Amino acid sequence: MDDEALAQRAQAGDREAFAELVQRHAPSVGRLLSAMVDRPEQVADLVQETFCNAWIALPRYRARCFGGWIRQIALNCGRQTLRSAWWRRVQLTDQPVEHLTNGHSAPSPSEALLNGERVARIRGAVARLPRAQAEAVRLRYLLGETYTAAAELLGVPEGTVRSRVHAGVARLRGELAEYFEEFDR
């Protein structure tokens, strides 16, 4: 059964249909949120919050694209979390580094410290970008979304996303020149 048929059944109160939608879309919602928030336990909470909000909003859903609709709800949940001053402090001071190994052996303590500092600097630099630029950069480079998909998620034209990414990367290049030199080699 396709998403739209499941959404219609869920709107009629079918919890199993909604559970199927959750199962189908939770991985992409999790990827979207993990690009915004780097703590797995916070991502899991936000995924749950996203689907709770979707269940509440389901009567207002108008059949079009359930995947885009749920990702928009997730993006709003992530934005709300990032606006929290408390969460910003946690994000910038408590950086996990295990995701940097990419399946390779764990880094040494000194490598872990350097990776943690590097992640903190990059996250700090992205966080200092204007919100619209930061969102576009996160979607494009952390999630690997196409410009078209990012534009749909953000509700703006594709050209706007391209200009936001370009401006954001230009600002980051100035602040994080040593990291860009590594990529330019």
pLDDT tens for residues 11-55? 999 999 999 999 999 999 999 898 887 778 889 999 999 999 999
Nearest to 28 by CA among 60, 80, 83, 65: 65
pLDDT tens for residues 133-162? 988 888 887 777 788 888 887 888 999 999
Give the pTM.
0.55
Q: Which domains does the chain have, with CATH numbers?
A: 1-92 (1.10.1740.10), 95-128 (no CATH), 130-185 (1.10.10.10)
CA 46/CA 88 separation, integer angstroms = 15
CA 139/CA 152 separation, integer angstroms = 11
Split at pLDDT 50, 70, 90, the class of 118 is confident
How many residues are present in the chain?
Answer: 185
CA 52/CA 112 separation, integer angstroms = 36
H helix or E strand, kind and range, residue 85? helix 85-93
Residue 2 has pLDDT above 70, yes or no: yes
SS (H, E, C) 64-81: CCHHHHHHHHHHHHHHHH
CA 170/CA 164 separation, integer angstroms = 10
Phi, psi (degrees; rounded to nearest 5) at 39? -100, 120
Mean pLDDT confidence for 85-113: 45
Split at pLDDT 50, 70, 90, the class of 70 is very high
